[in-house]
Chains A and B, each alone.
Chain A
Amino acid sequence: MTHFLKSRWVDYIILGLSVFLIFCLVFESYIELPRFVSWLGRWHPLVLHFPIVLLLLAIFLGLTGREVPRLLLFTAVLSALITAISGFFLGKESLVKGDLLLWHQWLGAGVALVAAIWYALSKIREEKMILSKTLQGVLLVLIGFTGHYGGMVTHGEDFLALPIEKKQKELPENPLIYGDVVTRILDEKCVSCHNPNKQKGELLLTDLANILKGGENGNTVIPENLEESELIKRLHLPIEDEEHMPPEGKTPLTDVEIEILERWIALGASDTVRLSGLKEPEPLIGLVRSLREPDPSGKWANFPKIADSTLQNLSSDYLSINRVASNTDALSVDVYLAPEYDSKPITNLKRVAKNIVELDLSGLPIGSLEIDMVSLCTNLEWLELDKTPVGDEDIEKLIPLEHLRLLKIYETSINDKSLLALKKLKNLKRLYLWGTGISDSALKEFNKERPNMLIDNGIDPETEAFFVANDTIVDNKEE
């Protein structure tokens, strides 16, 4: 082996490969690779690990002032050159090279050539320590950057980004179907492989022109034609199918996302249509809306865990306590009037107060004990207190319920004062309060402040008058 390392052939190999690499880079646009050579490029992801390890080892020895074994340096440089050349072959497969790929290419070539120079210098006996160490330093930096850019090409640009909680930007009130909705889906699920840096299947999903242009097959999206649109076809293939997109291992699209893409294509794949431009019963309206309201089970995901036995212990013949859905710890509680009313079962709910999202106490003779329990249910979204003896001071106790979305307090003796407390419930969207002591003027004022809240103040008097005046069944009997 040592004999071989001393022979001139070794130097020739390094020199030859370096020259070949430079030649490739210079005449890149004139080169047409035979298929077999292209295939060799596919080995790039495998071999690239060798120069990284070997070079780093050599650099470590060099920088710490130890002798770098010749065999190590030779194999390191050789693998660097092979990696660079195979990388070049692989890069030829993408039609247009994006910024990331270009940076990776030139940095990679830099690593290989600087390594080759180091090798050449090491042959000269009177090498200067300073020069050698500088080279090693440069090489270290180059390896770092090359690897990083290569990683971004393969795994996407934000692969190494710090895992800050990804906050999806909220959809605007009247989103563009393409600009705001479709691109959001594509960005999230498709663009990491179909971008200028990594144009899988020659397909770019970053702008509408390229989406319509399509990939290798050219029929990615055919407006108004779902059957022929390759994109949709592939989304629907079974996950085991090679052609299924996104490929196994990547996050698949949800049903809603697929349907949105389908409807968008069916409607002509336009980039100017807005949500408000759609007419019921176009399903896209509901689909887009459902994107805005996150999956309810998601927001309940961090609730304390509740055992079924706990629920059984808390429930009675007159108190039903159920999970809102099978996969959550969010609870829905209904209480019915027992022949002998007792507040115990309700106050016992304190144990699971944080889990209760729906609570129905309507028609019960509740007092402050029960209301105190209610005020502990800070995740409550739906509360029924109608036909109970609650008063203004009880409503004030509801202020901590910041998630409260719906409140029924009809047929109670609350007054205008309660509106002040209700104003503080920022998420309250539906309010049923007819048959209370609240004055029309105060309610009007309140409504002005919260225009988006649906306030039900009983049946519209005009309609009611019509019903009273036209009793059909009485008419029917007279006939």
Chain B
Amino acid sequence: MKENENKKENPLKVNRRHFFSQLSVGIGSLALGSLLIPDLFKGNEKGQAGMPLGIPHFAPKAKRVIYLFQAGAPSQLETFDYKPTLRKRMGEDLPESIRNGQRLTGMTANQDKFPLMPPAVGFSQHGQSGTWISDYFPHIAKIADDITVVRSMHTEAINHDPAITFFQTGSQISGRPSMGSWMSYGLGSENKNLPSFVVLTSRGKGNSQGLYSKLWSSGFLDSKHQGVLLRSGKDPVLYLNDPDGISRSDKRHLLNEVSELNKLHHVETGDDEIESRIAQYEMAYRMQMSVPDVMDVSKEPESIVKLYGEDCQVPGTYAANALQARRLAENGVRFIQLYHQGWDQHGNLPDEMAGQAKDVDQASAALVMDLKQRGMLEDTLVVWGGEFGRSNYCQGKFDEANYGRDHHPRAFSIWMAGGGIKPGLNYGQTDEFGYNVVENPVHINDFHATLMHALGLDHEQLTYKYQGRRFRLTDVAGNVVKDLLA
């Protein structure tokens, strides 16, 4: 009833179905209208999917995700995919039987030769699982039995922007909701005083690619599902603090009044984003208390500081963000995404990667260990990886001490830990050149489907209807990689 009134008052509330039904009255014949539009009398089709929102579809293994995104695409050949053949056939041209005419980026497509380049770093096996890990990562090597390395990831995008957009949203073209937003939409929030999707960024000294807020945008989903970027320093969330001279009770009073006005406007227009905005104001009010509390690492004991590395006390570093991630996870944030920039080694790879690895190695491993001792690895899924891999051939001058690697979407490695994923597993294989996946390929869509499965969501059921069709994170593809599930 109320809806009908709304419709009369505001054109925003009239949808196509209303329009046609009014039209048929106008023609003067409901019967004719029903002939023209067979489901005219079927009532308003509301709701997106058959599944209720804000609750997992089935009992989940993981309740939250900490995604340690290594932006720029770290080379799989210097991290987790050990290929001794590259040393044996060093300098030889990449065999055409391996490349098979596949496209390369404009940066190397015009090279006369594609000489195979071995990793500048040693590799050794670690843990009971015998996982090959490069010597750049001595700390991650210590948690080899807690992590599962997937060496058979592959994607379709070959450049950073489409690739990272694909990884975050399931589509190479921007505009879709980020995976964190989908999780927030599907699972709701665990703690009403914090956003359910939080982003933390840091930057290494290596060659960087840009990061932009579209990567954590909620796309066509309600904006409350959008990732909230927590900044380092005094104001983690911009404009969250009250101006000088405004007390908390003044703020409360202000919010009450504004909310009344907004509600009036909502009744008038029926725009759902207004409700969303009211809720956001309320959350911001509570976040004024909760955020400083969560962000305050000064109470962390010395042992924890040492575990993550002294740098975790310096705001804005990867180590600080990793520690922050644990604290956010403890406080019920569903999806915590770290981005560490600087992994785009087109040149000077050995130096840059060594530096990048030092930024993230200890803190990543410390985070897993810290979560483990708190029993949080039981229901928190940690993922570490970039947007694609890097070429097994040298980009630019062939120099073992200072080489580069170009983008390579056909095979790359990531690792996962906890949250319903088998520990200590080595999954998938590339060929001896580390170029193509030869066993158990995992596409980005498959990865998304698996991630959602761990969180108790059926990737085919969690949909949102927008512009006339239902969208999912995996769109029309994706299979849950059951082999990875514990």
Contact = CB atoms under 8 A, between A and B. Distances in A.
Interface stretch (B88-96, B108-116, B217-225, B353-361): B353-361
A472 B140 CA distance: 12
Contacts of A439: none
Nearest to B141: A466
B374 A432 contact: yes
Contacts of A71: none
Given A408-B375, A476-B355, 17 more contacts: A281-B425, A283-B482, A297-B58, A297-B59, A324-B59, A325-B56, A336-B332, A363-B330, A406-B378, A410-B375, A432-B375, A456-B372, A470-B138, A472-B361, A473-B362, A473-B363, A479-B355
Contacts of A322: 54-55, 188
Max chain B C-beta neighbours (<10 A), residue from A280, A297, A323: A280
A326 B55 contact: yes
B273 interface: no
Contact of A472 (B52, B362, B482): B362
A463 B142 contact: yes
Interface of B: 51-52, 54-60, 138-139, 142, 188-193, 286, 289-290, 303, 306-307, 309-311, 317, 319, 330-332, 355, 357-359, 361-363, 365-366, 369-370, 372-375, 378, 422, 425-427, 440, 456, 482-486
Given A280-B422, A317-B193, A325 B57 contact: yes
A434 B373 contact: yes
Contacts of A283: 482-483
Interface in A272-330: 280-283, 286-287, 296-297, 317-318, 320, 322-328, 330
A164 interface: no
Contacts of A432: 373-375
Contact of B362 (A259, A280, A325, A467): A467
A468 B138 CA distance: 13
Contacts of B362: 467, 470-473
A28 interface: no
Interface string A457-475: 0110001101110111111
A473 B286 contact: no
Given A320-B190, A320-B192, A470-B362, A458 B373 contact: yes
Contact of A328 (B59, B309, B357): B59
Interface string A228-248: 000000000000000000000
A362 to B, nearest CB: 8
Contacts of B484: 281
A458 B307 CA distance: 12
A93 interface: no
Contacts of A318: 192-193
Interface in A311-366: 317-318, 320, 322-328, 330, 334, 336, 339, 362-363
Interface in A362-381: 362-363
B378 A467 contact: no
Most B CB within 10 A of own CB, among A280, A459, A476:
A476
A323 B57 CA distance: 10
A251 to B, nearest CB: 20
Contacts of A467: 139, 142, 306-307, 309, 362, 365-366, 369
A408 B377 CA distance: 12
B309 A473 contact: yes
A473 B317 contact: yes
A430 interface: yes
Contacts of B191: 320, 334, 336
A386 B370 CA distance: 14
10 contacts: A281-B483, A282-B483, A287-B482, A320-B189, A324-B60, A325-B55, A459-B307, A459-B373, A467-B365, A476-B359
A320 B331 CA distance: 12
B307 A464 contact: yes
Q: What 6 A-B pairs have minimum CB-CB distances, sorted nearest first?
A: A473-B311, A476-B358, A472-B358, A432-B375, A281-B483, A468-B306
B483 A410 contact: no
A323 B55 contact: yes
Given A320-B332, A472-B361, A473-B319, A456 B57 contact: no
Nearest to B426: A281
Contacts of B378: 406, 430
A299 to B, nearest CB: 10
B373 A456 contact: yes
Interface residues of A, number: 49
Contact of B369 (A259, A296, A323, A459): A459
B371 to A, nearest CB: 11
A472 B309 contact: yes
A266 to B, nearest CB: 13
Given A325-B55, A334-B191, A339 B373 contact: no
B235 to A, nearest CB: 20
Contacts of A363: 330
Nearest to A328: B59
Contacts of B190: 320, 334
A296 B269 CA distance: 45
Contacts of B138: 470, 472
A204 B259 CA distance: 72
B194 to A, nearest CB: 9
B310 A471 contact: yes
Nearest to B307: A467
A368 to B, nearest CB: 24
Contacts of A476: 355, 358-359
Nearest to A467: B307
Contact of B289 (A328, A339, A471): A339
Nearest to B286: A317
Contacts of B359: 472-473, 476
Contacts of B193: 317-318, 336
Contact of B52 (A326, A336, A406, A408): A326
B311 A474 contact: yes
Nearest to B52: A326
A286 B59 contact: no
A478 to B, nearest CB: 11
Given A286-B482, A296-B59, A432-B375, A473 B456 contact: no
A297 B56 CA distance: 12
B56 A473 contact: no
B188 A325 contact: no
A296 B422 CA distance: 19
A322 to B, nearest CB: 6
A38 B286 CA distance: 80
A318 B191 CA distance: 7
A287 B483 CA distance: 9
Contacts of B372: 456, 459
Contact of A471 (B58, B309, B427): B309
Contacts of A384: 375
A297 to B, nearest CB: 6
Contacts of B427: 281
A129 B150 CA distance: 87
B139 A470 contact: yes
B58 A286 contact: no
A471 B138 CA distance: 11
A444 to B, nearest CB: 19
A479 B52 CA distance: 54
B309 A474 contact: yes
Contacts of B485: 286
Residue with the highest number of chain B CB atoms closer than 10 Å, among A281, A363, A410: A281
B60 A325 contact: yes
Given A326-B51, A472-B358, A406 B310 contact: no
